[in-house]
């Protein structure tokens, strides 16, 4: 049995002190004080940022954090700034009780769950935005999305001041964007990428899979299978990148997907055009009913 309690100001000293206890903190200043207390004891601190709807993919990020730290903070904050006007912030799955139960079971010490007003108080006018690496792939289809992500992640990193922060490779472009931001702004946290967790049939775990009907769920693994085929064809040289990506779009449409935002092979570091002798990745984003599914994987070298 795990004790979960919500901190009222000043009780953070105990966060993570007794085995199996987890504290919910809602105030940035209080979080900072908690982290300072941990660091003064020489403890290493990890941050796992999430928007809730916790699944096994998030739990694997917590497990990666355990290997690198003594204390783990998971943030739960559905960040409206990273959703476009026609996107799903209102319907995004949210269940704080269940999320905190799952995070506590995974050994998280503090859940940081600020309100919208605490994160973006009246008068908030700052945006952190990056060029270049945010332009292709999802950046082309989700206007303002990455500026919303980098603004909130910059705030979370400054509030939690973690030694390490863990992000999933499922959102590979997001991971690269955050690495670049941390480098450019001299934020002293290590950014760790953690491998995508898949269902048995290959579908990448995602909170948005909850939008799929039973029929769509049966079709969804085709995205992974199709990206695997592109990676194979490009690695073996049997098809050009253009031909492999064109065939992938056709096969996704035949499988029952709706709009295909992109299927592309890009340089794994810069997201520029893939070139000989450099590692490359295949990226895909496609709509299935109300869900926009994304996935990516490496082209074998
Ligand atoms: O990957 C996510 O869930 C979000 O983009 C993040 C990093 C928690 C920022 O809101």
Q: Mind listing the pLDDT tens digit for each residue in 62-107?
A: 999 999 999 999 999 999 999 988 887 888 888 999 999 999 999 9
Half-sphere exposure of 235 (CA within 13 A, CB side): 15
pLDDT at 91: 86
Q: Cβ–Cβ contacts within 10 Å for residue 158, how many? A: 13
Task: Indicate which atom in ligand 1 lies nearest the CA of residue 78.
Answer: 10
15: nearest Cα among 43, 35, 40: 35
pLDDT in tens, 225-243: 999 999 999 999 999 999 9
pLDDT at 296: 99
Tell me, yes or no, if 58 is annotated catalytic: yes
The residues near 60 (Cβ < 8 Å, ≥ 6 apart) are 168, 194, 195, 197
Is 119 near ligand 1, meaning CB less than 6 Å away? no
Please provide the size of the chain in residues. Answer: 301
CA 76 to ligand 1 centroid distance, Å: 9
C-alpha span between 232 and 140 (Å, rounded): 26
pLDDT at 21: 86
CA 240 to ligand 1 centroid distance, Å: 34
Residue 239, exposed/middle/buried by CB under 10 A (0-12, 13-18, 19+)? Answer: middle
pLDDT at 93: 86
Query: pLDDT under 70 in the chain at which residues?
Result: 1-2, 8-20
pLDDT at 225: 98
Let me know: does 47 contact 191? Beta carbons within 8 Å: no
Return the beta strands (E) in the chain as ranges.
3-6, 21-25, 45-50, 71-76, 110-112, 164-168, 190-194, 260-267, 280-288, 291-298
Atom 5, ligand 1: which residue's CA is nearest? 149
Mutate which of 152, 155, 192 for ligand 1? The one with the most ligand atoms within 8 Å of its CB, which is: 152
């Amino acid at each position: 049995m795990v004790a979960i309690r919500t901190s009222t100001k000043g009780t953070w000293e105990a966060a993570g002190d007794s085995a199996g206890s987890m504290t919910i903190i809602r105030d940035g200043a209080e979080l900072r004080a908690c982290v300072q207390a941990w660091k003064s004891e020489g403890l290493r601190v990890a941050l796992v940022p999430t928007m809730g709807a916790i699944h096994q993919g998030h739990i694997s990020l917590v497990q990666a954090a355990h290997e690198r730290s003594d204390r783990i903070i998971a943030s739960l904050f559905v960040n409206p700034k990273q959703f476009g006007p026609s996107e799903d912030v209102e319907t995004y799955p949210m269940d704080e009780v269940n999320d905190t139960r799952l995070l506590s079971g995974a050994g998280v010490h503090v859940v940081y769950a600020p309100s919208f007003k605490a994160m973006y108080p009246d008068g908030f006018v700052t945006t952190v935005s990056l060029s270049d690496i945010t332009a292709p792939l999802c950046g082309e289809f989700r206007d303002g999305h990455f500026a919303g992500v980098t603004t909130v992640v910059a705030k979370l990193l400054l509030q939690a001041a973690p030694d390490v922060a863990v992000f999933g490779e499922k959102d590979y472009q997001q991971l690269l964007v955050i690495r670049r931001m941390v480098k450019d702004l001299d934020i002293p946290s290590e950014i760790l990428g953690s491998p995508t967790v898949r269902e048995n049939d290959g579908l990448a775990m995602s909170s948005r899979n909850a939008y799929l009907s039973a029929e769509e769920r049966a079709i969804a693994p085709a995205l992974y299978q199709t990206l695997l085929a592109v990676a194979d064809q490009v690695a073996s040289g049997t098809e050009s990148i253009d031909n492999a990506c064109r065939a992938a779009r056709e096969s996704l449409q035949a499988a029952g997907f709706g709009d295909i935002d992109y299927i592309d092979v890009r340089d794994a570091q810069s997201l520029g055009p893939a070139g000989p002798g450099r590692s490359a990745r295949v990226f895909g984003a496609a709509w299935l009913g109300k869900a926009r599914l994304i996935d990516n994987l490496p082209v074998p070298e």
